[in-house]
Structure 1
Amino acid sequence: MFKPMTSVFANHQIAGHYRAIDRAQKCIVPFHFEIQGQEYPKPEPERNWLRRLSGTRSEKYAIVELTPRQVVLWSPEGRNLGEMPLSAVQRIQIGAIRWHVSQGLDPRHAFRATIFVLTDTGNYYFANSDMEVLPAIFKFAHEHGIPVEDPLRLIPLLKLGWKVAALTLHETYSQLVAHTGYPDDKV
Protein backbone atom coordinates (compact mmCIF):
# COMPACT_ATOMS: atom_id res chain seq x y z
CA MET A 1 0.00 0.00 0.00
CA PHE A 2 1.22 3.49 -0.77
CA LYS A 3 2.22 5.63 2.18
CA PRO A 4 0.39 8.99 2.38
CA MET A 5 2.73 11.96 2.48
CA THR A 6 2.51 15.72 2.16
CA SER A 7 -0.04 17.08 -0.31
CA VAL A 8 1.03 18.67 -3.61
CA PHE A 9 -2.37 20.27 -4.13
CA ALA A 10 -2.32 24.06 -3.83
CA ASN A 11 -5.17 25.98 -2.11
CA HIS A 12 -6.01 23.01 0.13
CA GLN A 13 -5.60 24.93 3.40
CA ILE A 14 -8.73 27.01 2.79
CA ALA A 15 -11.57 26.49 5.31
CA GLY A 16 -11.48 22.75 5.88
CA HIS A 17 -10.77 21.73 2.28
CA TYR A 18 -7.64 20.03 3.56
CA ARG A 19 -9.83 17.23 4.99
CA ALA A 20 -11.06 16.16 1.53
CA ILE A 21 -7.54 15.97 0.14
CA ASP A 22 -6.20 14.39 3.32
CA ARG A 23 -8.91 11.72 3.14
CA ALA A 24 -8.03 10.92 -0.51
CA GLN A 25 -4.46 10.29 0.67
CA LYS A 26 -5.58 7.74 3.28
CA CYS A 27 -8.43 5.79 1.72
CA ILE A 28 -10.30 5.30 -1.55
CA VAL A 29 -12.74 8.20 -1.98
CA PRO A 30 -15.58 8.21 -4.55
CA PHE A 31 -15.21 11.06 -7.06
CA HIS A 32 -16.67 11.74 -10.47
CA PHE A 33 -14.04 12.39 -13.15
CA GLU A 34 -14.09 15.03 -15.85
CA ILE A 35 -11.57 14.37 -18.58
CA GLN A 36 -11.32 17.11 -21.19
CA GLY A 37 -15.01 18.00 -20.83
CA GLN A 38 -16.43 14.43 -20.60
CA GLU A 39 -17.85 13.46 -17.19
CA TYR A 40 -17.67 9.90 -15.79
CA PRO A 41 -20.20 8.67 -14.90
CA LYS A 42 -22.45 10.73 -17.13
CA PRO A 43 -24.84 12.80 -15.02
CA GLU A 44 -28.44 11.62 -14.94
CA PRO A 45 -30.86 13.91 -16.76
CA GLU A 46 -32.39 16.44 -14.38
CA ARG A 47 -36.01 15.53 -13.56
CA ASN A 48 -37.01 18.82 -11.95
CA TRP A 49 -38.26 21.06 -14.77
CA LEU A 50 -37.32 24.28 -12.96
CA ARG A 51 -33.73 23.10 -12.49
CA ARG A 52 -33.62 21.94 -16.13
CA LEU A 53 -34.63 25.45 -17.26
CA SER A 54 -32.10 27.12 -14.98
CA GLY A 55 -29.29 24.71 -15.93
CA THR A 56 -28.64 23.54 -12.36
CA ARG A 57 -28.61 20.02 -10.94
CA SER A 58 -30.32 18.45 -7.93
CA GLU A 59 -27.51 15.97 -7.39
CA LYS A 60 -23.99 17.34 -7.12
CA TYR A 61 -20.75 15.42 -6.89
CA ALA A 62 -17.14 15.96 -6.02
CA ILE A 63 -15.13 15.96 -9.26
CA VAL A 64 -11.54 15.31 -10.26
CA GLU A 65 -10.92 17.36 -13.41
CA LEU A 66 -8.04 16.35 -15.68
CA THR A 67 -6.86 19.03 -18.08
CA PRO A 68 -3.72 19.15 -20.26
CA ARG A 69 -2.04 21.41 -17.66
CA GLN A 70 -3.36 20.38 -14.24
CA VAL A 71 -5.45 18.19 -11.98
CA VAL A 72 -8.19 20.02 -10.08
CA LEU A 73 -10.43 18.74 -7.29
CA TRP A 74 -13.89 20.33 -7.10
CA SER A 75 -16.32 20.12 -4.19
CA PRO A 76 -19.98 19.22 -4.85
CA GLU A 77 -20.72 22.94 -4.45
CA GLY A 78 -18.25 23.81 -7.21
CA ARG A 79 -15.49 25.17 -4.95
CA ASN A 80 -11.89 24.52 -5.89
CA LEU A 81 -10.54 22.10 -3.27
CA GLY A 82 -7.04 22.08 -4.72
CA GLU A 83 -5.03 21.81 -7.87
CA MET A 84 -1.64 20.49 -8.92
CA PRO A 85 0.26 20.67 -12.18
CA LEU A 86 -0.03 17.62 -14.40
CA SER A 87 3.77 17.45 -14.39
CA ALA A 88 3.62 16.49 -10.67
CA VAL A 89 1.94 13.17 -11.54
CA GLN A 90 4.58 10.43 -11.72
CA ARG A 91 2.22 7.63 -12.72
CA ILE A 92 -1.34 6.42 -12.47
CA GLN A 93 -2.47 2.96 -11.47
CA ILE A 94 -5.91 1.80 -12.61
CA GLY A 95 -7.80 -1.15 -11.23
CA ALA A 96 -11.11 -2.41 -9.87
CA ILE A 97 -12.46 -3.38 -6.48
CA ARG A 98 -15.56 -5.33 -5.50
CA TRP A 99 -18.23 -3.07 -4.03
CA HIS A 100 -21.01 -3.63 -1.46
CA VAL A 101 -23.49 -5.67 -3.49
CA SER A 102 -25.29 -8.95 -3.15
CA GLN A 103 -24.48 -11.95 -5.34
CA GLY A 104 -27.70 -11.87 -7.38
CA LEU A 105 -27.18 -8.42 -8.86
CA ASP A 106 -25.89 -7.61 -12.33
CA PRO A 107 -22.06 -8.06 -12.25
CA ARG A 108 -21.65 -4.62 -13.85
CA HIS A 109 -22.74 -3.10 -10.53
CA ALA A 110 -20.40 -5.25 -8.46
CA PHE A 111 -17.21 -3.30 -9.27
CA ARG A 112 -15.86 0.21 -8.96
CA ALA A 113 -12.99 1.62 -10.97
CA THR A 114 -10.00 2.60 -8.87
CA ILE A 115 -7.60 5.33 -9.86
CA PHE A 116 -4.42 5.80 -7.83
CA VAL A 117 -2.50 8.97 -8.64
CA LEU A 118 1.13 8.79 -7.54
CA THR A 119 3.19 11.97 -7.10
CA ASP A 120 6.54 12.87 -5.52
CA THR A 121 4.91 14.20 -2.38
CA GLY A 122 1.78 12.10 -1.97
CA ASN A 123 -0.54 9.47 -3.38
CA TYR A 124 -4.27 9.89 -3.96
CA TYR A 125 -6.89 7.14 -4.10
CA PHE A 126 -10.13 7.58 -6.05
CA ALA A 127 -13.07 5.33 -6.95
CA ASN A 128 -15.58 5.81 -9.75
CA SER A 129 -18.78 3.91 -10.51
CA ASP A 130 -18.26 4.08 -14.30
CA MET A 131 -15.66 1.58 -15.50
CA GLU A 132 -15.51 3.45 -18.83
CA VAL A 133 -13.41 6.04 -17.01
CA LEU A 134 -10.43 3.64 -17.11
CA PRO A 135 -9.92 3.65 -20.91
CA ALA A 136 -10.43 7.44 -20.87
CA ILE A 137 -7.75 7.89 -18.19
CA PHE A 138 -5.45 5.48 -20.02
CA LYS A 139 -5.83 7.48 -23.24
CA PHE A 140 -5.40 10.84 -21.45
CA ALA A 141 -2.27 9.65 -19.62
CA HIS A 142 -0.78 8.21 -22.83
CA GLU A 143 -1.37 11.51 -24.66
CA HIS A 144 0.42 13.43 -21.89
CA GLY A 145 3.32 11.05 -21.29
CA ILE A 146 2.19 9.75 -17.90
CA PRO A 147 2.97 6.07 -17.27
CA VAL A 148 -0.08 3.92 -16.44
CA GLU A 149 0.02 0.69 -14.48
CA ASP A 150 -2.77 -1.82 -15.13
CA PRO A 151 -1.99 -4.77 -12.82
CA LEU A 152 -5.39 -6.41 -13.43
CA ARG A 153 -5.04 -6.03 -17.23
CA LEU A 154 -8.40 -4.27 -17.47
CA ILE A 155 -7.80 -2.17 -20.59
CA PRO A 156 -7.76 -5.15 -23.02
CA LEU A 157 -10.76 -6.60 -21.17
CA LEU A 158 -12.75 -3.33 -21.38
CA LYS A 159 -12.24 -3.22 -25.16
CA LEU A 160 -14.78 -6.06 -25.32
CA GLY A 161 -17.42 -3.83 -23.73
CA TRP A 162 -18.36 -3.49 -20.08
CA LYS A 163 -21.08 -6.19 -20.15
CA VAL A 164 -18.65 -8.88 -21.33
CA ALA A 165 -15.82 -7.49 -19.20
CA ALA A 166 -17.98 -7.50 -16.06
CA LEU A 167 -18.86 -11.17 -16.46
CA THR A 168 -15.23 -12.09 -17.09
CA LEU A 169 -14.02 -9.93 -14.20
CA HIS A 170 -16.65 -11.42 -11.89
CA GLU A 171 -15.51 -14.97 -12.71
CA THR A 172 -11.74 -14.35 -12.64
CA TYR A 173 -11.35 -11.57 -10.06
CA SER A 174 -9.80 -13.80 -7.38
CA GLN A 175 -7.08 -14.99 -9.77
CA LEU A 176 -6.41 -11.47 -11.10
CA VAL A 177 -5.89 -9.93 -7.65
CA ALA A 178 -3.96 -12.85 -6.15
CA HIS A 179 -0.55 -11.12 -6.21
CA THR A 180 -1.49 -7.47 -6.68
CA GLY A 181 -2.45 -6.28 -3.20
CA TYR A 182 -6.05 -5.57 -4.25
CA PRO A 183 -8.60 -7.02 -1.80
CA ASP A 184 -10.36 -10.17 -2.99
CA ASP A 185 -13.41 -9.60 -0.82
CA LYS A 186 -15.97 -6.79 -1.04
CA VAL A 187 -14.96 -3.36 0.19
Structure 2
Amino acid sequence: MRYAMILMLLAAPAFAECPLPEDTSREMLNLIARANDTDNRNEGRRIAGQMWQVWLRAPDATAQETLDAGMRRRDSYDFAGALKEFDRLAAYCPDYAEGFNQRAYIHFLQENYEKALIDLDIALGLSPYHIAAQAGRALTLMNLGRLKEARAQLLIAVDNNPWLSERALLAEGAPLGPVGKDI
Protein backbone atom coordinates (compact mmCIF):
# COMPACT_ATOMS: atom_id res chain seq x y z
CA MET A 1 0.00 0.00 0.00
CA ARG A 2 2.70 2.44 1.02
CA TYR A 3 4.79 1.48 -2.03
CA ALA A 4 1.82 2.09 -4.36
CA MET A 5 1.22 5.51 -2.80
CA ILE A 6 4.87 6.49 -3.37
CA LEU A 7 4.68 5.34 -6.99
CA MET A 8 1.54 7.44 -7.52
CA LEU A 9 3.22 10.52 -6.10
CA LEU A 10 6.30 10.01 -8.25
CA ALA A 11 4.21 9.48 -11.37
CA ALA A 12 1.92 12.47 -10.75
CA PRO A 13 3.94 14.97 -12.83
CA ALA A 14 3.70 12.67 -15.85
CA PHE A 15 -0.08 13.03 -15.73
CA ALA A 16 -0.03 16.78 -15.07
CA GLU A 17 -1.60 19.02 -17.65
CA CYS A 18 -0.23 22.34 -18.70
CA PRO A 19 -2.58 25.17 -17.75
CA LEU A 20 -3.85 27.40 -20.49
CA PRO A 21 -1.52 30.34 -21.11
CA GLU A 22 -2.77 33.69 -19.88
CA ASP A 23 -4.45 35.92 -22.45
CA THR A 24 -1.80 38.51 -23.22
CA SER A 25 -3.56 40.15 -26.17
CA ARG A 26 -4.41 43.34 -24.28
CA GLU A 27 -0.84 43.60 -22.99
CA MET A 28 0.55 43.04 -26.50
CA LEU A 29 -1.80 45.59 -28.07
CA ASN A 30 -0.58 48.12 -25.50
CA LEU A 31 3.06 47.35 -26.36
CA ILE A 32 2.30 47.55 -30.09
CA ALA A 33 0.71 50.97 -29.59
CA ARG A 34 3.70 52.15 -27.56
CA ALA A 35 6.14 50.86 -30.19
CA ASN A 36 4.25 52.75 -32.87
CA ASP A 37 3.99 55.93 -30.79
CA THR A 38 7.67 56.35 -30.07
CA ASP A 39 10.17 57.97 -32.38
CA ASN A 40 13.08 57.01 -30.15
CA ARG A 41 15.08 53.98 -31.33
CA ASN A 42 16.27 53.04 -27.83
CA GLU A 43 12.71 53.21 -26.50
CA GLY A 44 11.51 51.10 -29.45
CA ARG A 45 14.10 48.44 -28.66
CA ARG A 46 13.19 48.53 -24.96
CA ILE A 47 9.54 47.94 -25.87
CA ALA A 48 10.57 45.07 -28.15
CA GLY A 49 12.37 43.56 -25.15
CA GLN A 50 9.18 43.86 -23.12
CA MET A 51 7.34 42.00 -25.89
CA TRP A 52 9.84 39.16 -25.57
CA GLN A 53 9.26 39.07 -21.82
CA VAL A 54 5.56 38.48 -22.50
CA TRP A 55 6.15 35.74 -25.09
CA LEU A 56 8.69 33.96 -22.89
CA ARG A 57 6.35 33.82 -19.88
CA ALA A 58 5.38 30.15 -19.79
CA PRO A 59 2.09 28.91 -18.30
CA ASP A 60 3.69 27.04 -15.38
CA ALA A 61 7.04 26.14 -13.83
CA THR A 62 7.39 22.88 -15.79
CA ALA A 63 6.83 24.68 -19.09
CA GLN A 64 9.20 27.48 -18.07
CA GLU A 65 11.94 25.00 -17.15
CA THR A 66 11.52 23.19 -20.46
CA LEU A 67 11.52 26.44 -22.46
CA ASP A 68 14.61 27.69 -20.63
CA ALA A 69 16.40 24.36 -21.12
CA GLY A 70 15.64 24.43 -24.83
CA MET A 71 16.90 27.98 -25.16
CA ARG A 72 20.11 27.15 -23.28
CA ARG A 73 20.70 24.22 -25.63
CA ARG A 74 19.94 26.42 -28.64
CA ASP A 75 22.32 29.10 -27.40
CA SER A 76 25.08 26.49 -27.09
CA TYR A 77 24.34 25.24 -30.63
CA ASP A 78 22.93 21.92 -29.40
CA PHE A 79 20.10 22.08 -31.91
CA ALA A 80 19.19 18.40 -31.56
CA GLY A 81 18.87 18.81 -27.79
CA ALA A 82 16.95 22.07 -28.18
CA LEU A 83 14.56 20.43 -30.61
CA LYS A 84 13.87 17.65 -28.09
CA GLU A 85 13.09 20.21 -25.39
CA PHE A 86 10.79 22.21 -27.68
CA ASP A 87 9.09 19.00 -28.83
CA ARG A 88 8.44 18.22 -25.15
CA LEU A 89 7.15 21.74 -24.56
CA ALA A 90 4.81 21.63 -27.57
CA ALA A 91 3.46 18.24 -26.44
CA TYR A 92 3.02 19.38 -22.83
CA CYS A 93 1.61 22.85 -23.61
CA PRO A 94 -0.07 22.66 -27.02
CA ASP A 95 -1.75 26.03 -26.40
CA TYR A 96 1.49 27.91 -25.65
CA ALA A 97 2.70 29.71 -28.79
CA GLU A 98 6.32 30.16 -27.74
CA GLY A 99 7.01 26.43 -27.73
CA PHE A 100 6.11 26.32 -31.41
CA ASN A 101 7.92 29.58 -32.18
CA GLN A 102 11.14 28.32 -30.62
CA ARG A 103 10.85 24.96 -32.36
CA ALA A 104 10.28 26.81 -35.64
CA TYR A 105 13.48 28.76 -35.02
CA ILE A 106 15.45 25.54 -34.65
CA HIS A 107 13.92 24.20 -37.87
CA PHE A 108 14.80 27.50 -39.56
CA LEU A 109 18.41 27.32 -38.36
CA GLN A 110 18.58 23.77 -39.73
CA GLU A 111 17.15 25.07 -43.04
CA ASN A 112 14.05 22.91 -42.66
CA TYR A 113 11.80 25.75 -43.78
CA GLU A 114 8.67 23.67 -44.39
CA LYS A 115 8.65 22.42 -40.79
CA ALA A 116 9.44 25.94 -39.54
CA LEU A 117 6.47 27.31 -41.46
CA ILE A 118 4.13 24.72 -39.94
CA ASP A 119 5.21 25.63 -36.41
CA LEU A 120 5.03 29.37 -37.12
CA ASP A 121 1.49 28.99 -38.42
CA ILE A 122 0.56 27.16 -35.21
CA ALA A 123 2.25 29.83 -33.07
CA LEU A 124 0.40 32.63 -34.90
CA GLY A 125 -2.88 30.74 -34.65
CA LEU A 126 -2.39 30.64 -30.88
CA SER A 127 -0.96 34.15 -30.55
CA PRO A 128 -1.80 36.43 -33.50
CA TYR A 129 0.18 39.34 -31.99
CA HIS A 130 3.41 37.34 -31.75
CA ILE A 131 5.48 39.74 -33.82
CA ALA A 132 8.63 37.63 -33.64
CA ALA A 133 6.68 34.73 -35.15
CA GLN A 134 5.33 37.11 -37.81
CA ALA A 135 8.86 38.19 -38.70
CA GLY A 136 10.11 34.60 -38.53
CA ARG A 137 7.34 33.54 -40.87
CA ALA A 138 8.37 36.27 -43.32
CA LEU A 139 11.99 35.09 -43.23
CA THR A 140 10.91 31.50 -43.68
CA LEU A 141 8.71 32.35 -46.67
CA MET A 142 11.59 34.36 -48.14
CA ASN A 143 13.88 31.33 -47.85
CA LEU A 144 11.23 29.23 -49.55
CA GLY A 145 11.25 31.69 -52.47
CA ARG A 146 7.72 32.87 -51.72
CA LEU A 147 8.72 36.54 -51.83
CA LYS A 148 5.30 38.11 -52.34
CA GLU A 149 3.91 36.30 -49.27
CA ALA A 150 7.08 37.05 -47.31
CA ARG A 151 6.80 40.77 -48.08
CA ALA A 152 3.11 40.84 -47.07
CA GLN A 153 3.91 39.04 -43.78
CA LEU A 154 6.84 41.31 -42.98
CA LEU A 155 4.73 44.41 -43.65
CA ILE A 156 2.29 43.15 -41.00
CA ALA A 157 5.13 42.55 -38.52
CA VAL A 158 6.66 45.99 -39.14
CA ASP A 159 3.24 47.59 -38.85
CA ASN A 160 3.02 46.01 -35.39
CA ASN A 161 6.59 46.91 -34.44
CA PRO A 162 8.39 49.45 -36.63
CA TRP A 163 11.62 48.83 -34.72
CA LEU A 164 12.21 45.31 -36.08
CA SER A 165 15.67 44.86 -37.57
CA GLU A 166 14.05 42.77 -40.34
CA ARG A 167 12.54 46.04 -41.60
CA ALA A 168 15.73 46.51 -43.64
CA LEU A 169 14.56 43.65 -45.89
CA LEU A 170 11.74 45.92 -47.13
CA ALA A 171 14.06 48.67 -48.39
CA GLU A 172 14.46 49.37 -52.09
CA GLY A 173 16.88 46.83 -53.54
CA ALA A 174 16.52 44.49 -50.55
CA PRO A 175 15.12 40.95 -50.97
CA LEU A 176 11.58 42.00 -49.94
CA GLY A 177 11.80 45.56 -51.21
CA PRO A 178 9.28 47.10 -53.58
CA VAL A 179 9.13 45.66 -57.06
CA GLY A 180 8.80 48.16 -59.89
CA LYS A 181 7.80 51.76 -59.60
CA ASP A 182 4.37 53.29 -59.14
CA ILE A 183 3.33 55.48 -62.06
- Shorter chain as normaliser: what TM range? under 0.3
Higher strand share: 1
Q: TM-score, normalised by structure 2?
A: 0.26
Which protein has the larger Cα radius of gyration, Structure 1 or Structure 2? 2
Q: Which has the higher contact order (CA 8 A, sep 6+)?
A: 1
